Amino acid sequence: TDVRYKPIEHFVCGCLGGCAATVASFPFDMIRTRMIAQSDGQLAYTSLLDAASKLKAEGGFRAFYRGLLPTLTAIGPQTGFQFGFYSLFSQVLETIVTKHDENLDDKVMTIIGSLSCGGLAG
């Protein structure tokens, strides 16, 4: 692919990856939030399995994903921008953040370079 479009590709992949990770972890976050929100004096859930079974009884499988859409609208762009800006900073600062590796006979990013681009990307 054209080097100019690499940040855009990374933005799209970051959005998709962030959304996929959110969809996979959202049921666990829902249960965790319910466990944390219960008051100390009156426990609604005795365990994680109890919370999961009561949540399923309340609204079925969809109850585990209640509130997913607003979360995805925040997570998708956020992870996309992080990946896109990391790629952009890697290109812009290429002469500073890379060195030539004799074994690979190619440029490789240094640890400091990777940390710097990651820090700048957020």
pLDDT for 3 equals 72
Cα–Cα distances in angstroms (integers) from residue 57 to residues 51, 53, 54, 63, 64, in the given order: 10, 6, 5, 9, 11
Cα(121)–Cα(85) distance, rounded to whole angstroms? Answer: 5
pTM, rounded to two decimals: 0.79
pLDDT for 63 equals 94
Cα–Cα distances in angstroms (integers) from residue 6 to residues 19, 38, 81, 88, 103, in the given order: 20, 46, 13, 8, 25
Cα(52)–Cα(34) distance, rounded to whole angstroms? Answer: 10
Per-position pLDDT tens, the chain of length 122: 577 788 999 999 999 999 999 999 999 999 999 898 887 778 888 889 999 999 999 999 999 999 999 999 999 999 999 999 999 999 889 888 889 988 888 889 999 999 999 999 98
> Residue for token digits 């400091």?
112
DSSP H or E segment with residue 62: none
pLDDT for 1 equals 58
